[in-house]
Chain A
Amino acid sequence: MHPLVRTPQRLALYFGAWIVVGLLIALIFVLTWGIDFLRALAATEPLALAYGVVCLSALWVSRTLPLDRTPLLKLLSGWLGAAVQASAVWVAIGTLWSVLLARSDVIHASRAELLVGLSVLFVIGVPLYFASLVIHYLLLTFEASREAERRVLETEVTAREAEVRALRAQLHPHFLFNSLNSINALVGSDPEGARRMCESLGDFLRRTLALGARDGVPLAEELALVDQYFAIERVRFGERLTVERYIETGAERCVVPPLLLQPLVENAIKHGIADRLEGGTIRLAAVVVDGALRLSVENDVDEDARSRPGEGVGLQNVRRRLDALSARETRLDTRREGGCFRVTLTLPARPAQGGRAHA
């Protein structure tokens, strides 16, 4: 729908203006030929409204000739061309209209009078079209700025949402509930253990919040957090949880987005440990290859596990965060093979300040 007449208010305003134009033209005719005002009005109002419709074509002109990107000469010639054509169309409509008026005995104009009348239409048609152009350009600018505002707002909301989602993914509430239950159990049988668990849980939460507030952290810090997480989960899963790690010295110094590994490790615990009778091994690896940091988290999977089409929320979040970082330089690959599931993240190996990446 044409934006100028999209709402009933705009429609009324636009054609209201054209009714006024019709009134003025009727006045010209009354003054020129001294014809009856009402008859003149009956002749000119439909003409004015018809030209109102013709002038809506200025939208197309204003869209094809944007003010900021069109050479002045092309702009002027384009406008003039469009105005003359529109005016000519109006004259043609006027000619047909005069025939109809004569047939229905409203106004009988002589050939000379008709010529004068049509000339008047043509002469005022051009500036009227220019007026319409001005309105359309204003409208486009207005809508563009509103659109830009909306987009800025949308981006902000999306960013905020991503943040909240990321936080939620990092701090799965059930992790807290289960940990509290473990503490509850330890209080009776192993009060010292319960204290240790409270301490680790507190440390883990504090570190999570601190890391989450930063833009990038050395991998070593991220891994320390993951270790703390494993320590807490080991109370729940006992012997069922085994962790192996292979971390290159250089890789440890690379900067990574904070809490990127957390959802992957959580998934690994869920599918590789919690869903398996005998538990399993989680393998973490970090290497630098050709200037790229490759992080992988691998867990055993149960053959009887329900097949899961697509990716879970955790993996999607990580993918989204990597894309936001740089869709070109980062990758997330998943692979299920021989009873193992592996997620590999590839991101540019940037050494932390004060350190040097080992390539």
Chain B
Amino acid sequence: MREAAGRMTAVVVDDEAPARALLREYLGVRPDVAIVGECANGFEAVKTIAEAKPDVVFLDVQMPKLNGFEVLELLDPGPVVVFCTAYDEYALKAFEVHAVDYLLKPFGRERLAEALARVRARLQEGAAAPPGPKPADLATTARPPGRWVERLLVKDGAHVHIIPVEKLDFLEAQDDYVALHAEERTWLKTQPLAELTAGLDPARFVRIHRSYVLNVERLSKLELYAKDSRVAILKSGKQLPVSRAGYARLRELM
């Protein structure tokens, strides 16, 4: 939150110590900015940003475990984001997720001052600012172009779980959540099923029912249950309903 003195609060996220030191040095001499957190990886970033609720986050893109876009996906909309990276290929994606600026390493004091001016302008716009991007947009943005989502991220309190898609058995819609079933466990993710499914490889994940998306590799057999209604039996023995449209989609894939 904004300090009483009107200083904007900032969190610096970069896995490289020299890069953090540089921002610390640049920002340290500015009377209008207070660094309230430094993180060396995505996990720390998710926790620190959720707790400190800074005005602005200086975010590296390529980091171990979670990249910068994945960190954003796991955050409630809030902080203004300035990406700092040596890679220019993420610039477009960065602006798609409403980043206020994109600093290319190496950058100097003047360039950072420009970015801070933009941050201030965005903060002053306040409520008039465009609504933040939806998590699903972030999820699509975070994945490499032309590829399907390779893993799903679930935030469980301060913990972040990474679930590779090949470990998923099926997905189940539950009100505002999607229940992810994998390795005999269930995780809840706040996102509509359709949005989540849009990023998954359609050759592997099929919507067999209004409320179910199945990893076809887990399918053992299909049984006729009643006229026009089938049931999918998974290798684990679990049974899932298959709608008529779902059956047609499965047939198309097989």
| B164 contacts A185, C-beta separation under 8 Å | no
- Of the candidate stretches A172-180, A283-291, A326-334, the one touching chain B is A172-180
| A181 contacts B164, C-beta separation under 8 Å | no
CB distance from B232 to the nearest CB of A (A): 26
| A235 contacts B18, C-beta separation under 8 Å | yes
Which residue of chain B lies nearest to A236 when distances are taken between CB atoms in the complex?
Answer: B16
A189 at the B interface (CB under 8 A):
yes
| A274 contacts B105, C-beta separation under 8 Å | no
A337 at the B interface (CB under 8 A):
no
- Name the contact of B150 in the complex, choosing from A177, A178, A307 (C-beta under 8 A): A307
Which residue of chain A lies nearest to B105 when distances are taken between CB atoms in the complex?
Answer: A181
B162 at the A interface (CB under 8 A):
yes
| B64 contacts A302, C-beta separation under 8 Å | yes
Complex: A338 Cα to B106 Cα, angstroms:
37
Residues of B within 8 A of A221 (CB): none
| A238 contacts B17, C-beta separation under 8 Å | yes
B48 at the A interface (CB under 8 A):
no
Complex: A235 Cα to B21 Cα, angstroms:
12
- Name the contact of B166 in the complex, choosing from A183, A235, A275, A307 (C-beta under 8 A): A307
CB distance from A236 to the nearest CB of B (A): 5
- Name the contact of B16 in the complex, choosing from A188, A237, A306 (C-beta under 8 A): A237
B86 at the A interface (CB under 8 A):
yes
| A274 contacts B164, C-beta separation under 8 Å | no
Which parts of A147-190 form the interface with B (CB within 8 Å)? 174, 177-178, 180-186, 188-189
Complex: A188 Cα to B21 Cα, angstroms:
9
- Name the contact of A236 in the complex, choosing from B18, B106, B150, B151 (C-beta under 8 A): B18
Complex: A184 Cα to B19 Cα, angstroms:
9
Residues of B within 8 A of A238 (CB): 17
| A274 contacts B18, C-beta separation under 8 Å | no
Complex: A183 Cα to B164 Cα, angstroms:
37
Which parts of A91-120 form the interface with B (CB within 8 Å)? none
Complex: A188 Cα to B19 Cα, angstroms:
12
- Name the contact of A185 in the complex, choosing from B18, B43, B62, B87 (C-beta under 8 A): B18
Which residue of chain B lies nearest to A275 when distances are taken between CB atoms in the complex?
Answer: B64
Which parts of B1-21 form the interface with A (CB within 8 Å)? 15-19, 21
CB distance from B235 to the nearest CB of A (A): 21
CB distance from B80 to the nearest CB of A (A): 22
Residues of B within 8 A of A183 (CB): 106
| A186 contacts B25, C-beta separation under 8 Å | no
Residues of A within 8 A of B18 (CB): 181-182, 185-186, 235-236
Residues of B within 8 A of A311 (CB): none
Complex: A345 Cα to B22 Cα, angstroms:
39
Which residue of chain B lies nearest to A240 when distances are taken between CB atoms in the complex?
Answer: B15
Q: CB-defined interface of A304-336 with B at 8 Å, one 1/0 digit per residue?
A: 101100000000000000000000000000000
Interface residues of B (CB under 8 A from A): 15-19, 21-22, 25, 40-41, 43, 62, 64-65, 86-87, 104-108, 150-151, 162, 164, 166
Interface residues of A (CB under 8 A from B): 174, 177-178, 180-186, 188-189, 235-238, 274-277, 302, 304, 306-307
5 inter-chain pairs at a CB distance below 8 angstroms, sorted by A residue, are A181-B106, A185-B22, A274-B62, A275-B65, A304-B162
Since A181-B22, A277-B43, A306-B164 are in contact, a sample of 6 more A-B pairs with Cβ atoms closer than 8 Å, ordered by chain A residue number, is: A178-B105, A185-B22, A274-B15, A275-B64, A304-B151, A307-B150
For the complex of A and B, 9 pairs with smallest distance between CB atoms: A177-B86, A185-B22, A185-B18, A181-B105, A181-B106, A182-B18, A180-B106, A184-B106, A188-B25
